[in-house]
């Protein structure tokens, strides 16, 4: 991939305490307005492409990296970004370039794959594409993305994030292999062979920057788009925005429902996602995220329960799977997931022999508890549930403390700070649940 180098920043510094952000390293934020030649060329390119002026400018924030800053006060209800349809990169807009080729290839393509290929091809010959000003504004690398973490940092991710990363890696590789197959009969598109690293970079550009043209159809094959300028806006969970395609102006618009003061970073909202999801998909985390939770699937499977034979454990897990309650066992700040309580109640049935009448009665009672027809299988079973929830908490708390200790000895980088924040928040969730147990509050 040809390097698209950025010039050093021409900084204008601000100290912007943002009342919406609550974590320590989100306070007293230093901001440098970006006025390098690449950005000025990009603004000129946007003007030629028909993009209206905005009250936003690109800036480097000490807490979040690049994002958009308000150059004037913005009122609630204002449109903050407007991208003409001709400036959107979608499967529809790429039909003129690749439509016949895609049709010959069959149904082995998807919009993410094709848009990523398009970006990779533009980078191979940026001067010829007409999109060089935009390409120069894209990240040169994605070191904050867990899919790019070295093994030592990957090992410090929570278990659900690790599983998510593995799926993402498999998806990128599958799309790359499909792309190579597509290029076998379309080699004239290439300036040089497409290497995996080039395609991974382009795939991550699309993944971290795309929008859904219709937020209600996030699985539609032709629904994603790259939207220059709009894709510089960062996410926070408490931003309130509306995204919509305006048929009258033939453009995609973002309207903020919150006001912003001059000098503040302006955000959009990607949806109700926890920090593990946001980190894996976008490469950052948000402070005080109310959607955070702690996954204890592995700990649940490894629980050692006195008197539970391997055969009984296997049969119980099969029952959980058949009933739709296998996995996704989580702790929230204020409660334990119903799925985890369901799983523990079954695991805590003593003398489990499926052929016995007593066990069949206990299983029937368990089903009735799940459906809400009974409050408990037995007083003893219900008494033991918080005991084992606390055991799970203690195990996860020990892991959080260990990982925080390891991270404290590492050089401070964005990935290290992201991992620290996730484990601090996990620790706080665990301590909150343990406190409820000690105060004998309902779970």
Gap between the Cα atoms of 150 and 41, Å rounded: 35
Pairs from 254-259 (Cβ < 8 Å, separation ≥ 24): 254/79, 254/80, 254/81, 254/82, 254/230, 255/77, 255/78, 255/79, 255/80, 256/74, 256/76, 256/77, 256/78, 256/80, 257/76, 257/77, 258/76, 259/73, 259/74, 259/75, 259/76
CB-based contact 224:90 (threshold 8 Å):
yes
Pairs from 370-376 (Cβ < 8 Å, separation ≥ 24): 370/323, 370/325, 370/342, 376/345
CATH architecture of 294-438: Alpha-Beta Complex (3.90)
* pLDDT tens digit sequence for 390-439: 999 999 999 999 999 999 999 999 999 999 999 999 999 999 999 999 99
CB-based contact 60:28 (threshold 8 Å):
no
Query: Nearest CA to 16 among 80, 58, 70, 66?
Result: 70
Residue labelled with tokens 């000690």: 438
* pLDDT tens digit sequence for 189-244: 999 999 999 999 999 999 999 988 875 554 555 678 999 999 999 888 889 999 88
List the domain boundaries for the chain: 1-283, 294-438
Q: What is the mean pLDDT of residues 168-197?
A: 94
Q: Are strands 29-33 and 13-16 parallel, antiparallel or unpaired?
A: antiparallel
Least confident of 119-128, 218-227, 372-381, 405-414: 218-227
Do the first three CATH levels of 1-283 and 294-438 match, i.e. the same topology? no
* pLDDT tens digit sequence for 323-348: 999 999 999 999 999 999 999 999 99
pLDDT value of position 389: 98
What pTM value is reported for the model? 0.87
pLDDT value of position 321: 97
Q: Are strands 234-235 and 265-268 parallel, antiparallel or unpaired?
A: parallel
Give the CATH fold of the 1-283 domain.
set domain protein methyltransferase, domain 1 (3.90.1410)
């Amino acid at each position: 991939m040809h390097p698209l180098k950025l010039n050093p920043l021409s900084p204008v510094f601000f100290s912007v305490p943002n009342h919406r952000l609550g974590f320590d390293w989100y306070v007293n934020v230093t901001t440098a307005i970006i006025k390098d030649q690449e950005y000025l060329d990009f603004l000129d390119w946007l003007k030629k492409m028909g993009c209206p002026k905005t009250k936003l400018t690109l800036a480097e924030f000490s807490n979040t990296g690049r994002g958009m800053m308000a150059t004037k006060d913005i009122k609630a209800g204002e449109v903050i970004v407007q991208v003409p349809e001709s400036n959107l990169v979608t499967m529809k807009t790429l039909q003129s370039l690749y439509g016949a080729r895609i049709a010959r290839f069959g149904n082995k393509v998807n919009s993410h794959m094709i848009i990523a290929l398009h970006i990779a091809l533009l980078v191979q010959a940026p001067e010829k594409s007409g999109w060089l000003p935009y390409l120069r504004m894209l990240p040169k690398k994605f070191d904050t993305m867990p899919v790019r973490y070295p093994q030592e940092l990957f090992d410090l991710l929570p278990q659900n994030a690790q599983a998510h990363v593995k799926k993402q890696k498999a998806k990128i590789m599958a799309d790359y292999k499909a792309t190579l197959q597509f290029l076998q009969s379309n080699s004239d598109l290439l300036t040089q062979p497409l290497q995996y690293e080039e395609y991974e970079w382009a795939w991550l550009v699309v993944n971290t920057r795309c929008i859904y043209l219709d937020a209600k159809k996030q699985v539609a094959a032709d629904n994603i788009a790259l939207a220059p300028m709009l894709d510089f806006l960062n996410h926070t969970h408490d931003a309130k925005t509306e995204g919509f395609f305006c048929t009258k102006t033939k453009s995609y618009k973002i309207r903020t429902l919150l006001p912003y003061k001059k000098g503040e970073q302006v955000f959009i909202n990607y949806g109700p996602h926890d920090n593990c999801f946001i980190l894996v998909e976008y490469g950052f985390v948000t402070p005080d995220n109310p959607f955070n939770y702690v996954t204890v699937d592995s700990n649940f499977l490894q629980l050692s329960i006195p008197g539970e034979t391997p055969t009984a454990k296997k049969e119980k897990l099969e029952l959980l799977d058949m009933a739709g309650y296998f996995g996704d066992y989580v702790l929230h700040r204020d409660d334990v997931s119903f799925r985890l309580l369901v799983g523990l109640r079954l695991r805590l049935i003593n003398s489990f022999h499926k052929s016995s009448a007593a066990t069949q009665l206990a299983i029937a009672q368990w089903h009735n508890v799940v459906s809400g027809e009974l409050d408990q299988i037995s007083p003893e079973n219900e008494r033991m549930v918080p005991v084992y929830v606390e055991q799970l908490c203690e195990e996860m708390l020990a892991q959080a403390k260990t990982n925080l200790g390891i991270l404290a000895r590492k050089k401070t980088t964005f990935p290290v700070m992201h991992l620290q924040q996730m484990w601090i928040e996990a620790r706080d969730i665990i301590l909150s649940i343990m406190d409820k147990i000690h105060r004998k509050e309902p779970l």
